[in-house]
Amino acid sequence: MTRPTRATIDLSALRGNLAVARQHAGAARLWAVIKADAYGHGLMRAAGALEDLADGFALLDLADAIALREAGFRQPILLLEGFFEADEIPLLAEHGLTPVVHTLEQVEMLTSAALPARLPVYLKINTGMNRLGLSAEEFHAALTALDTLSCVASVTLMTHFADADLERGIVWQMARFDEAVQGCDQAVSLANSAALLRFPEARRGWARPGIMLYGSSPFPQDESAEALGLRPAMTLSSQLIAVQDLAAGERIGYGGIFTAERPMRIGIVACGYADGYPRHAPTGTPILVEGRRTRTVGRVSMDMIMVDLDGIPDAGIGSPVVLWGEGMPVDEVAAAAGTVSYELLCALAPRVPVIETNG
């Protein structure tokens, strides 16, 4: 018998979620963010599903960008961390890639580059995220330098929001951005998923939807993915492979951290942290068995999870289980585990077979 754990990727959900992003984008064009192997959904799989809908693809790795080009994708491709060494710059021009420039050192590398074609670049301003980006003072020097380079075809201005999913919002960063770019006439790229959905003033130029494409809410504590019109693109599923009857007072799993308060039926699911399920998920993490909500109990093992079968009398060996996805929002599982959906989706293990569907 083949181990029943598998991930089902719904390509129609990916396309539908991009359509939701498009509804919110107004006149803005859309970079579909497919970094980190498309948030665990598969780089080529996601690019193929979104090829006719996205205006471009945004990712991190040069090797992934070149692989997309070699696979025949001709949309613009944005490298969100830009380049790291000067010898990468000719490859960017050769393959028609757009790097994000976020340091003066990168500007200096471009100044010395001899390229086979002119290169569009994004110039990133740090407006308070304090991760990547130039200060307002550095920005003006960098923009002046880039405008003089014959190897630079165009410059688009960008920033990244730290609090678009939180109460603080984006007003403070928008004010800093607008002050820094006053008098500039370049195109801009501002909105991530949260800003695209919540802040119309950020829908300028090019937006960069990421997590929403995969059917997760950017602000799950306030508004569910379903309420936003998003559908899960990944469903991680398995089956029960054993059932145990516990007497009151008996413990289960490593460390015996769960003790039965009463006689209980416990199901054993063929899925664990080696499949990408979070090991730190506590007792009470929601899960579906036979289409009904129940909870995990005890410590997550490498290959197995234990679940409470109270109220599901027909559950037994072979019963279907949904860890997250269709019918069990990944945001709820992530919240119970004290993390975010991004981590769960990106952690899908290579050993898990993937099945593609179209709805």
Catalytically active residues are 35, 254
Contact residues for 203 (Cβ-Cβ < 8 A; gap 6+): 24, 25, 26, 27, 28, 190, 191, 195, 196
Which residue type sits at 113? A
d(CA 119, CA 116): 9
d(CA 212, CA 229): 10
Phi-psi region of 291 (alpha: psi -120 to 50; beta: other; left: phi over 0): left
d(CA 255, CA 267): 18
**Alpha-carbon distances of 132 from 83, 183, 187, rounded to whole Å:** 13, 23, 19
**Alpha-carbon distances of 9 from 149, 214, 272, 358, rounded to whole Å:** 44, 10, 19, 8
Please state, as a whole number, how many other Cβ atoms lie within 10 Å of the Cβ of residue 314: 9
The rounded Cα 137 to chain-centroid distance in angstroms is 32
d(CA 142, CA 125): 10
